[in-house]
Amino acid sequence: MCKMSERSVMYFILCLQILNAFVDLIYASESNADIKVDILFVPENCTQKTKKGDLLHAHYDGYLAKDGSQFYCSRSAKNGSPHWFVLGIGEVIKGLDMGLKDMCPGEKRKITVPPSLAFGEKGKNPVPPNATVIFEVELLHVRRGPHSMEAFKEMDINNDQTLTKEEVKDHLKMEAKKINVQKEESYFDAVVTDVFSRNDKDTDGTLSLQEYNVYEHDEL
């Protein structure tokens, strides 16, 4: 039998304490890189769920976790329009790309995001450095992303493999009507201008399949 001396028992305990401290550290750093998602509301009909590459239409409010102060509100910013963005490709902060998956139109979520998945060590005005942020997001509408052939074909009314501004605009109007969103003509014009400024690479005023399908090589 091996009998531990008092000294080696002390050493053993010390080692255990150090080990525990390391385990705590590892857990702390892991949880630090995790987002927390609270689902606030789910509509009865929740069949169409978001996935990477989808185009999302959402309102969101941003708060600082430390004091609950609001730093952003899409309902009052700019002209109060909800945002359109593609999910999962870095158009929004990483924590939102992660936290808005498997979400259906009409759903509301509260997403708590650590700095490493939000605005980082430096912050981004008005978010201070190293800030944990909380976003309350209301997803209004989802359409299959730009990678989707279905989306393109739906818009390409005359089936000539290019999208004109009119085709895109008509489609947006139709989608808005489906979800009972009423908007001025100028709103649709602004969205179309935005879509074309991002995607019409050769600036010929139409979107080719290739131009529209900008994320086709992205792993989905």
- Binding residues (CB under 5 A) for Ca ion: these are 156, 158, 160, 162, 200, 202, 204, 211
Query: What is the closest distance, in whole angstroms, from the C-beta atom of residue 51 to Ca ion in the complex?
Result: 26
Query: What is the closest distance, in whole angstroms, from the C-beta atom of residue 137 to Ca ion in the complex?
Result: 32
Query: What is the closest distance, in whole angstroms, from the C-beta atom of residue 212 to Ca ion in the complex?
Result: 9
Question: In this structure, what DSSP letter does residue 116 have?
Answer: G
In single-letter form, the type of residue at position 133 comes to V
100 or 207: CB nearest Ca ion: 207
112 or 206: CB nearest Ca ion: 206
Q: Cβ(108)–Cβ(136) under 8 Å?
A: yes
130 or 162: CB nearest Ca ion: 162
109 or 171: CB nearest Ca ion: 171
Q: Cβ(56)–Cβ(50) under 8 Å?
A: yes
Q: Which of 78, 191, 56, 194 is nearest to 137 (CA)?
A: 56
Q: Which residues pair with 127 in a beta bridge?
A: 124
Q: Cβ(87)–Cβ(57) under 8 Å?
A: no
Query: Residue 69: how many CA atoms within 13 Å on its side-chain side?
Result: 7
38 or 202: CB nearest Ca ion: 202
3 state DSSP class of 147: coil
Query: What is the closest distance, in whole angstroms, from the C-beta atom of residue 166 to Ca ion in the complex?
Result: 9
Radius of gyration in angstroms for the set of CA atoms belonging to the chain, rounded to a whole number:
24
CA distance 54 to 84: 10
Query: What is the closest distance, in whole angstroms, from the C-beta atom of residue 155 to Ca ion in the complex?
Result: 8
